[in-house]
Amino acid sequence: MCDTCGCNVTPGNKHLLASGGTLETTAEGHEAVTVLHNLLHENDHMAQHNRDHFNGHGVVAINLMSSPGAGKTALLEATIQALGDEFSLAVIEGDLETENDAERIRKHGVRAIQISTGSACHLDAHMVHDALHGLDLDDYDIIFIENVGNLVCPASFDLGQHVNVALLSVPEGDDKPAKYPVMFRTADMVMISKADLLPILDDFKPERAETYLRNLANDAPVIHTSAKSGAGMEDWLEWLRTQVAARKQEHRQNPDAHAHVHHDHSHHEQGQSPGRPITSDS
Ligand SMILES: Nc1nc2c(ncn2[C@@H]2O[C@H](COP(=O)(O)OP(=O)(O)OP(=O)(O)O)[C@@H](O)[C@H]2O)c(=O)[nH]1
Ligand SMILES: [Mg+2]
């Protein structure tokens, strides 16, 4: 996680600086955040709150992370098409600017909430919490969270998700798990995306990428997919089915799990929370 660029301070959490954090200006004139433990502690607290809500509705929350352009939105589009009516899903989209990805999802008839992070290079739990105001979790089986394209910072912020999926696209090179260990260590599933390009970019060796991953002591499954050709999509869907079934079973066994959540508000489709103009939905 970067601790000098100020990326820890997001539109969702900057109010916390007023209660303990400070910003200082360096000799170069950059603002450096000097007290961040408060923010991270608050982030973890809010992430657990989000997770309690997901659990309370038996919904699985999946955090998609990758470098910019690795194919997260294309994967979601292909997933929506392949799943058909099997599951009901919604997408929370994180981007610095634009509603482009949310609009791509909405074209498929799926609800998408865009979070514009401004200068922040990652989503945090406060932003996701705000986005949850736009979703009635009773309506969904899966909530996908497409994180900001970035192989560094998103890995350090718990959002309340159940699982992390890290995409590694073939054009990026097979050494990324070695170079970005925090991201790949935190992955519950690694997807080698744009697999249709393997015959062309043949210096990408999937087995080498997997060796780097195993060197991080991560035994997560690795699947190869192409959103373009559809190759490998069935492996991905099968993994999704397993995640949904596990969450539903947990919910059946523990239906009152969310009774412990203290509500100062409800999470259903009520539009924006006041003073937080960071989300929008269809
Ligand atoms: N060949 C090939 N191209 C793909 C595939 N998936 C996505 N792309 C292309 O890769 C580019 C980026 O795809 P996106 O889905 O926008 O990637 P992203 O990870 O959502 O990008 P950001 O949200 O900007 O980080 C687009 O031009 C896609 O058409 C694939 O499976 N094969
Ligand atoms: Mg995208």
Residue-range domains of the chain with CATH: 14-260+276-281 (3.40.50.300)
Return the ligand number nearest the Cα of 102: 2
Q: How far is the CA of 74 from the centre of ligand 1 (A)?
A: 5
74 CA closest ligand 1 atom index:
15
Ligand 1 pocket mutation pick from 105, 146, 148, 194 by most atoms within 8 angstroms of CB = 194
**Alpha-carbon span 152 to 1, nearest angstrom:** 6
Pocket of ligand 1 from Cβ distances under 6 Å: 66, 68-74, 101, 149, 193-194, 196-197, 226-228
Indicate the burial class of 217 (C-beta count within 10 angstroms; 0-12, 13-18, 19 or more): exposed
Q: How far is the CA of 103 from the centre of ligand 1 (A)?
A: 15
Q: How far is the CA of 64 from the centre of ligand 2 (A)?
A: 10
* Contact residues for 79 (Cβ-Cβ < 8 A; gap 6+): 89, 144, 233, 236, 237, 240
225 CA closest ligand 1 atom index:
31
The two tokens of residue 142 are 């899966």
**Alpha-carbon span 173 to 176, nearest angstrom:** 7
- Tens of each residue's pLDDT in the chain, 282 residues: 455 445 666 767 777 665 555 555 555 555 544 456 677 888 999 999 999 999 999 999 999 999 999 999 999 999 999 998 999 999 999 999 999 999 999 999 999 999 999 888 999 999 999 999 999 999 999 999 999 999 999 999 999 999 999 999 999 999 999 999 999 999 999 999 999 999 999 999 999 999 999 999 999 999 999 999 999 999 999 999 999 999 999 999 988 766 445 444 444 444 333 222 233 343
**Alpha-carbon span 274 to 282, nearest angstrom:** 18
148 CA closest ligand 1 atom index:
25
* Contact residues for 178 (Cβ-Cβ < 8 A; gap 6+): 212, 215
**Alpha-carbon span 159 to 165, nearest angstrom:** 13
Q: Would you tell me how many other CB atoms lie within 10 Å of the CB of residue 273? A: 16
67 CA closest ligand 1 atom index:
25
Name the strand (E) or helix (H) holding 210.
helix 206-215
pLDDT at 19: 52
The answer to whether 73 touches 146, Cβ cutoff 8 Å, is yes
pTM for this model (two decimals): 0.86
pLDDT at 39: 77
pLDDT at 204: 98
Indicate the burial class of 92 (C-beta count within 10 angstroms; 0-12, 13-18, 19 or more): buried
Q: What is the distance, to the nearest Å, from the Cα of residue 73 to the centroid of all Cα atoms in its chain? A: 12
Q: How far is the CA of 199 from the centre of ligand 2 (A)?
A: 24
Nearest CA-CA partner of 4 in 37, 35, 36, 33? 33
Q: How far is the CA of 101 from the centre of ligand 2 (A)?
A: 5
**Alpha-carbon span 95 to 9, nearest angstrom:** 15
The answer to whether 110 touches 91, Cβ cutoff 8 Å, is yes
